[in-house]
Amino acid sequence: KQEVTQIPAALSVPEGENLVLNCSFTDSAIYNLQWFRQDPGKGLTSLLLIQSSQREQTSGRLNASLDKSSGRSTLYIAASQPGDSATYLCAANRGYALNFGKGTSLLVTP
């Protein structure tokens, strides 16, 4: 059974800092890894998807990397802003199902 772990569970940083969120998974037989953002009481917004053959993906201030052999992915957020405050979820895709981590709750203070 695929186990997905996210560290840290919570993170508070001042505005402007660069930060890294970590995701690890136990089964490397995945199609891709997807990062989501979830605001309180809201649904999930897809941020980045890295296919299993790729090493990284970038979108604006976000950069996600994937190391399948070691079962790790990181989400790098550059120059954080208060609007980045949310819960960030990673999910390993086995084709018919996503296995989610429990998320990292991020607070960016002005």
Partner 1 sequence: NAGVTQTPKFQVLKTGQSMTLQCAQDMNHEYMSWYRQDPGMGLRLIHYSVGAGITDQGEVPNGYNVSRSTTEDFPLRLLSAAPSQTSVYFCASSYASGTGDTQYFGPGTRLTVL
Positions touching partner 1 (CB under 8 A) are 4, 30-32, 34, 36, 41-46, 49, 51-52, 89, 91, 93, 95-98, 100-103
Nearest approach, Cβ of residue 1 and partner 1 (Å): 9
**Which residues have a Cβ under 8 Å from the Cβ of 64 and sit 6 or more positions away?**
33, 35, 47, 48, 50, 56, 57, 58, 73, 74, 75, 76
Smaller CB separation from partner 1, 77 or 92 = 92
Nearest approach, Cβ of residue 79 and partner 1 (Å): 25
> Whole-angstrom Cα distance, residue 107 to residue 110?
10
Nearest approach, Cβ of residue 62 and partner 1 (Å): 15
